[in-house]
Amino acid sequence: MRSQSVLQNSCAELLKVASPQLAPARFPRLESYHAMVGERLATELSALLSQRNGFFAFESALHVYSDQTTARGVGLFDWNSTDRWIGAYDGLADGMLFFAEDVFGGQFCLRGEGIFSFDPETGTTDFVADCLEAWATVVLADYEMLTGYPLAHAWQKTNGPVPDGRRLMPKTPFVLGGSYSVDNLYALDATESMTFRANLATQIRDLPEGTQVKWEIRE
């Protein structure tokens, strides 16, 4: 079965560099998402989480959600609740199952027959892979770019570990010219970070280039 192969090779290698699981082990039931993402991908994700129910990797730059909310962070089902942050994107984040995030809160999601990245500042998506095994291969090959590891490492050398439940938020959004530097980052609650940037994404989605956008730093 395809769901068994998900834990071979690259997925297994990713788990080797990952933290202990974030919630008690069990096989998460994702049938309610089959219509959205398809049975194959939902089963692959269930299989992965049954082996490691949520984890961090690359000094917390990559966070794969556990199926349930714990002291370490929001769980998969709560995170994908429309009322938490998805609804704030006014349709831009609909039809996706978000299962992981990079250090800046950039999301990885299942949609249709593929795995995509979701930019929280613009609400746009980019294709990454067609299965979780291929996604793990891509992440392992280019984790510095895909997880933000270099900046996560540099920020934590000065400020200590990124607190559980928080991601590194740019003071000036990257899409508005903010620099990829430690000085432009601060730790913010993950849900608040997504909701805050949803306002930016919905402002700029239909604007011509060069239009002024209102942005206010929240710390």
CA atoms within 13 A on the CB side of 6: 22
Q: Identify the pLDDT of residue 32.
A: 83
Q: Identify the pLDDT of residue 27.
A: 86
Residue 114 has phi, psi (to 5 degrees) of -145, 175
Q: Identify the pLDDT of residue 110.
A: 97
State the Cα–Cα distance between residues 103 and 106, nearest whole angstrom. Answer: 7
Mean pLDDT of the region 126-135: 96
Q: Identify the pLDDT of residue 3.
A: 38
Mean pLDDT of the region 147-156: 97
194 CB-near residues (< 8 Å, 6+ apart): 85, 88, 105, 120
Q: Identify the pLDDT of residue 212.
A: 61
Q: Identify the pLDDT of residue 1.
A: 33
- Token code pair at residue 45: 């994700």
